[in-house]
Structure formats: C-alpha cells, structure tokens
Structure 1
C-alpha cells in the first residue's frame, strides 16, 4: 500500500494525526527534499528506508514504490503542504492505477493556510473579499494563457501566489496591469510555520524591493489584497444577534 501524505506547512507538529501514524508505520518514505521539515522523519521507525525525491526523477520514485510493493512493504510518499497544490501527485497516481497498485491520499495543511496564521489573517472578510485565487507565475513550467496573473487581478479578490519569489518585478507589473492599484496591500511570507519563518507586509509595487532588502529569494509565497491590511469590513452575519440561523433565533432591535 502507498500513502500520499501531506507533510503540512512546515512545523513538524502540524502534520495530521493520520499522517503521523502513516509515518510511524512506514517501511519506506519518499519525501520532497528541502520542502519538507526533516524533523518529520524522526517519526519513522528504525530500519525505515528514506529517500529524498529532490534528487530523483519520477521514474526513480516509481521504481522505489514498485520494489516496496514487491516486498510487501508500506510506502509513504511525503509531499509538502497539501499534495493537491503543486504536488505533482496525479502523474504518480496514474501510473499506479495502470499497475493496479493500491494507494490513498492523506491531506495536509497547505502553506497558504500557514501563511495566514503567520499574519493572523483571514482571507475572506465580508464586503472586502470572499474569494481566494491560488496561482503562480509562469516559469520553466508554463501556465495556461487563460490563467494569466492579469486576468485574475481583474477580479480584485485575495490572491496567493506560489513559486514566484524570483519573479517579483514582473509579478508586480502584471498585478498592476491587471487592475490592482500599486499601493494595494501585499505580504511576503517566508517558510510559513517553520522555526525560521519571516513575514513582511508591503504593497504590490514594493514586493521586489521588500524581498531584495530582506534577502528572500525562494521558499516564500505572496499574498495580495486588502485583507492583508485588515481592511475595514462588515461584521459576520452568522454571529449577529439579529440574524436567525438553524440553531438560533435572531433578536430584532427595538
């Protein structure tokens, strides 16, 4: 059996209880290199075979899985954050489906959630932003043209940008071209929830300058939108004393 496991956003104690149990029982662990906190590997049992996938191709990763299956061993494929975001898990699962090898998927805490916790931030503030766009800049791996930064920026929703720390000058230009004002609040979160986490609040037009001044070149994500500045917002209807819910009758003001 192969378990795809989300390692969480960084801190070793932010893995799920289920994910931790899988690590404790694993005979083989293939983990995503520098993106996964090595402290998580301390949960493994003596004799567990551990592989760093940063040094491996897809074919090499799959071969380790195939060999473990032949030997009736349990494998954990440990991905950063939640594997559903930029985890490249589908290409692994498709081959396992072809080979009729059983697997399952244990979710984890994504770094975009960890980044919000680092800033004490709520992504969805009433009458400010009720949507979160998760995307990245096109680098060596392209992005579909219909998903350009400019087209997303036109919505003025909250945006979280992964895998783009080295392209912040271009990111700022595209955000502004798409409709964000240059002074729109923004933040850079470096290694969210890790011991060396750093956060920097800035604006759309100072993203590159902020990263440069603080030597941030990788392992960071950017948050764009008024929610970063805890913008003036409406009170939640759910907890408004006048609002009736399934569980509570609202009280009209006299």
Structure 2
C-alpha cells in the first residue's frame, strides 16, 4: 500500500500531469483538498472508490484515513493543489507516515506561479533585468517567518517576489517594499489561476492596494512584484544569439 501525494496543478483539470492522472484513476481511495482542488480533478477515480474532501478535516483525521487504507491494503491518491513542495502542508503528513511505517511517494504538479506566468505570457527571468525569483509569504495567522526571511530582507535583492497567502496583508507588503522597489514598481495580483473565475489585477506598489480593495479579493491570490513584470527593450538572451557557442552549436561572428 502506498500513499501517493499528487500535485494537481493550479485548478484547471487539464493541467495535471499524466502520472498524477493515472494514479487518481487507479487508487481505490482518494483524499483531496476540496477548498483548492476542484471536484473535476478527481472525477476519474475508479468506480466505487472512497473519495474524501479533506477541507473540513484536521491532520489527525487525515492520518486516520491513511491508517484505515493501510489496514485494508488500498493505495491512496492524496491530491493537493499546485505542487506539493510549495506551501503544500505535506511535510507533517510525511512525518507521521514515516512514524507509522506507511510508504509514500510524491508526484509533482504545475505550481500556481508558473501557471500565472503562462496565462500572463510573461517570462519571469528577463536578461539583465531580473534573474532571480523568490517565492515567499508573510506571517499572519500561520506560522511565523524564520529570521532573515522578512520582506524587508528579501526585498534588498531586487528579485521578482511572488508572495503567497498574503492578499489580506497587502498594506504590510506595501510598507515593507516601497522603500526598496519604489512606488512605480509593477505589481500583478493573480487570483484563482486556472479556475473559471481567474482574474489578474495590474498596478504598482503605489496603487495596487486600492485596486484590490475595489475588486473585493480577499483570498486565493498571489502577489507578483518586480521590474521584470513590465520589462521592455531588454537585450536578447545569449542562449540563441548567433555568436554564442555551446556543445551543440558553433557560434558565428
């Protein structure tokens, strides 16, 4: 018996990996985070499968489902949104499975920030403008941020920031980053990427809070901040430049 942690992607049912879909189709038990994973994502479970929306369950109740499936010798598809490695709350589940001696594996998924960049038709690493992306969040009701990972520290890099779980903390984001990025720095709010009601708000550090207040968005959104979001006139990358040589192509003058 194996618990398969599966990244379902940001929301659109056709953005799941082939491996992830095949596991869902084969497992007689399926636990999915219904607040973030649409029911359509798990619609192809086998006939008679036990399907559980874990959005109302606590950790101990989820582990109890694993233990029941283990006792019955039934594989479990544990479906999470996005990619499990990013704010997936899987580490504590794995720790308990280790203690119980229950086998598990992980299938990656399309992370929401990558799906947002695709929908926006943006490359987040623009030559000589931005070559670093930082995925982070702010501390609200969840666990505190480790020392050295505060926005005021991360912002000193000038990297493109993708801030998760913080749409209701936008005032704090603005206060911390305005001195570092400037009032005119581009900001994009990405709401429910991959869902039918997907929405993007474009603005700057100076006006994005007002735009969000008007929109009424209060959850399920990422905050993108950085100069690369509106870069224009940047140099072409070296990769395809005619003078650039590598093992598969000789450059020319």
Task: Specify if TM > 0.5.
Answer: yes
Q: Distance in 2 between matches of 1:232 and 1:201?
A: 20
| Count of residue pairs the alignment pairs up | 251
Match of 2:52 in 1: 51
The question of whether the paired residues in 2 share the 8 Å contact of 1:9 and 1:114 is answered with yes
Deviation, 1:226, is: 1.2
1:50 is paired with a residue whose SS is strand
Deviation, 1:145, is: 2.7
Say whether residues 1:149 and 2:151 are aligned partners.
Answer: yes
The question of whether the paired residues in 2 share the 8 Å contact of 1:128 and 1:231 is answered with no
Say whether residues 1:186 and 2:179 are aligned partners.
Answer: no
Match of 2:217 in 1: 216
Q: Distance in 2 between matches of 1:201 and 1:118?
A: 13
Q: Distance in 1 between matches of 2:91 and 2:251?
A: 47
Q: Distance in 1 between matches of 2:46 and 2:209?
A: 43
Unaligned runs of 5+ in 1: none
2:113 is paired with a residue whose SS is helix
Encode CA deviations 1:187-245: one digit per residue, 9 max, x unaligned: 00111121211111111122211111212111110100012113432211010001111
Q: Distance in 1 between matches of 2:203 and 2:15?
A: 27
Q: TM-score normalized by structure 1?
A: 0.96
Match of 1:38 in 2: 39
Q: Distance in 1 between matches of 2:233 and 2:160?
A: 15
The question of whether the paired residues in 2 share the 8 Å contact of 1:8 and 1:82 is answered with yes
1:174 is paired with a residue whose SS is helix
2:21 is paired with a residue whose SS is helix
Q: Distance in 2 between matches of 1:36 and 1:153?
A: 31
Q: Distance in 2 between matches of 1:43 and 1:113?
A: 25
The question of whether the paired residues in 2 share the 8 Å contact of 1:187 and 1:200 is answered with yes
Deviation, 1:115, is: 0.9
Post-superposition, which runs of at least 4 consecutive aligned residues in structure 1 deviate over 3 A? Answer: none
RMSD: 1.0
Match of 2:116 in 1: 115
Match of 2:160 in 1: 158
Unaligned runs of 5+ in 2: none
Match of 1:205 in 2: 206
Match of 1:106 in 2: 107
The question of whether the paired residues in 1 share the 8 Å contact of 2:129 and 2:231 is answered with no
